[in-house]
């Protein structure tokens, strides 16, 4: 099984995004690189903050996702609402989980902030494997998000 080398991935992502400041272009590039970097990643994408307390699907890789997610619902909403990474080992055990894809067994969602600290999106990665993500993933992904979006 392929597992991410976050230090190497960060170098690649920073090289690909050097000089770019458009958030959607950055999200599209990062979703693509992440999705193809690890076999655990079944769906990889962003939900953008498009209105108060509302997330709308952004660039992603994988099958169709939910189009709109309120901050009050699901794992993505919890990450947006609390500003904290959500590591969910079993999505069926998460109260209020939104089943966008029946294949999803576990999930990690991280808040995405711009240079001013404002929440602009969440990064959502789903896996068809149970308990696919851990604190190493959360830290590695958070570091990349900070380097790309909060510079």
Please name which of 35, 33, 38 lies closest in space to residue 1, comparing C-alpha atoms: 38
Q: For residue 31, what are its two tokens? A: 């979703």
Contact 33, 16 (CB under 8 A): yes
| Residue-wise pLDDT tens digits, 19-46 | 999 999 999 999 999 999 999 999 999 9
Cα(67)–Cα(138) distance, rounded to whole angstroms?
24
Q: Which residues, including other chains, have CB under 8 Å from residue 143's CB and lie 6 or more apart?
A: 6, 10
Model pLDDT, residue 102: 72
| Residue-wise pLDDT tens digits, 83-118 | 999 999 998 787 776 767 677 889 999 999 999 999
First-to-last alpha carbon distance for the chain, in angstroms, is 33
| pTM confidence score | 0.94
Cα(104)–Cα(53) distance, rounded to whole angstroms?
24
Pairing of the two strands 119-127 and 106-113: antiparallel
| Residue-wise pLDDT tens digits, 132-146 | 999 999 999 999 999
């Amino acid at each position: 099984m392929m597992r991410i080398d976050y230090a190497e991935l960060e170098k690649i992502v920073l090289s690909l995004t050097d000089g770019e400041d458009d958030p959607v272009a950055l999200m599209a590039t990062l979703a693509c690189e992440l999705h193809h970097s690890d076999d655990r990643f079944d769906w990889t994408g962003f939900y953008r903050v498009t209105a108060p307390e509302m997330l709308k699907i952004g660039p992603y890789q994988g099958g169709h996702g939910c189009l709109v997610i309120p901050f009050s619902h699901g794992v993505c909403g919890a990450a947006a609402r609390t500003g904290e990474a959500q590591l969910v080992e079993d999505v069926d055990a998460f109260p209020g989980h939104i089943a966008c894809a029946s294949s999803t067994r576990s999930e990690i969602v991280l808040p995405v902030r711009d240079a001013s600290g404002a929440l602009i999106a969440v990064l959502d990665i789903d896996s068809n494997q149970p308990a696919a993500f851990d604190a190493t993933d959360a830290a590695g992904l958070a570091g990349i998000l900070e380097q790309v979006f909060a510079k």
